[in-house]
Structure 1
């Protein structure tokens, strides 16, 4: 044991945990909210010509796997720079509705899904990060597959429900939620211009991660999520880097 306990802890984490990247790499032309402009990227300096490489990125904050702070929907609410770093590493709870999504892409998470999780794993921890697994990430980066629109232009993808969000926020006291789809609300709602679930969540001073990836590679309970992003003053959203620390199976 060294004189620095936290270094020992880091060594234990490397030995006992695997890291699972929950982030899509963003790029021009990827799926995005229809009214947003596409990413513009240019190379300002090149190694061969200048000795170093630098890119200029022009993109909206809600781009790729990204964080939405309360200020995204609520004037005067917490902005990105006001979310403390202590909230960037949290217990990870994964509610899995992916089997139901196969037959019903419009499905939403139900309170009985949370109750089933708790029956198997115990109470959802206060201050945790609850992710909704739908396996929708497998459709990335196909814009048509992500939107899954019918002939009338209505999108069909899964989402949260009011009853579950109210339970997680008001009874459990979670810190944040995340999902693999482009929106908190299911596609049938967003197609009608209804983003009421996202509004509710952000009004409660919670933050969220959208367009997560690879939730099928983490267990429903027992992992930690690490979510980090740049610190723009007054920022209303930004691409995030998110990963899970997953305990390795013991022999």
Structure 2
């Protein structure tokens, strides 16, 4: 990218910052392949299909000058956006194609509970945790995203460790039911981003209500993004996030590319 302009304005300033290195783009998206960890629901529930590429041609008889593939995947695979219509409490809300683009670009804050999750994989964020963070860093951003860093992306290449399942369920960190309700009903955020396979804690099926982050956030026209990576590279405040799902008509979710713009450390 190169920009040689003295014209005033926001866009030239943004491009100049990117060109000069004072602003950098960090990819928060997990690589999408057949081996990506996926949510496994117990019987009698039905799981989505996993991601798969099906080769159609590769510079051969079916396509001598090109290579292309079919994609087979469930909506909720990999780094993806949950739309309100995904959950029963938001069933009359937006599908993924109807999410206003203004709500997919905005400020993001990072709350770091990686130390707590390292000690207790079932660690739950409570309202008081977030209020303590606000006392130090300021209020949660209006129309922005709360990104929950738990360090769980370190397990991404080991599906068993990532899902962390035993006879008592899946043990991954998340939000308590009270915290989910508070974020959904009393804060101005647009959505929640997590590093884990779903926006709820691993054992949230046993909470009241079951899967409270889904229940409250999606029921209050807010959104979720899962399987984020590289949150350790973001500051607590000052990030601009771009969440880019496919515009799937009727879709309850979509794989997404999630990018963060941050000021370089030396800027």
Confirm or deny a common fold (TM above 0.5): yes
**Counterparts of 1:148 and 1:2 in 2: how far apart (Å)?**
54
Structure 1 residues 8 and 103, CA gap change in structure 2 (3 angstroms): closer
1:184 is aligned to 199
The reply on whether 1:29 has 2:47 as its aligned counterpart is no
CA distance in 1, matches of 2:174, 2:92: 27
Q: Is the contact made by 1:95 and 1:113 (CA closer than 8 Å) also made in structure 2? A: no
Q: Confirm whether residue 9 of structure 1 aligns to residue 29 of structure 2.
A: no
Q: Which runs of 5+ in 2 are unaligned?
A: 41-46
Q: Which residue number corresponds to residue 238 of structure 1? A: 254
Which residue pairs with 1:110 in the alignment?
A: 126
Check conservation: 1:159, 1:183, Cα contact below 8 A: no
Using the TM superposition, name which of 67-76 and 113-122 deviates more: 113-122
CA distance, structure 1, for counterparts of residue 168 and residue 160 of structure 2: 11
Report if the CA contact (8 A) 2:181-2:213 is conserved.
Answer: no
Q: Give the structure 2 partner of residue 42 of structure 1.
A: 54
Deviations 1:156-204, CA, capped at 9 Å, x for gaps: 1101123323333322211111101112222122378932321211100
Verify the 8 A CA contact 1:2 1:8 in the aligned structure 2. Answer: no
> Match of 2:104?
88
Aligned runs of 1:54-203 on 2, under 5 Å? 54-73=68-87, 74-150=90-166, 152-190=167-205, 194-203=210-219
Distance 1:241 1:108 in 2: 27
| Residue 112 of structure 1, CA deviation | 2.5
Note the aligned Cα RMSD (angstroms): 2.0
| Secondary structure, aligned partner of 1:173 | coil
Corresponding pairs, count: 250
2:49, 2:72 within 8 Å by CA — same for their partners in 1?
no
Q: Name the structure where strand makes up a greater proportion of residues.
A: 2
TM-score normalised by the chain length of structure 1: 0.92
- Unaligned ranges ≥5, structure 1: none
Output the TM-score relative to the length of structure 2: 0.87
User: Does the CA-based 8 Å contact 2:181-2:212 persist in structure 1?
Assistant: no
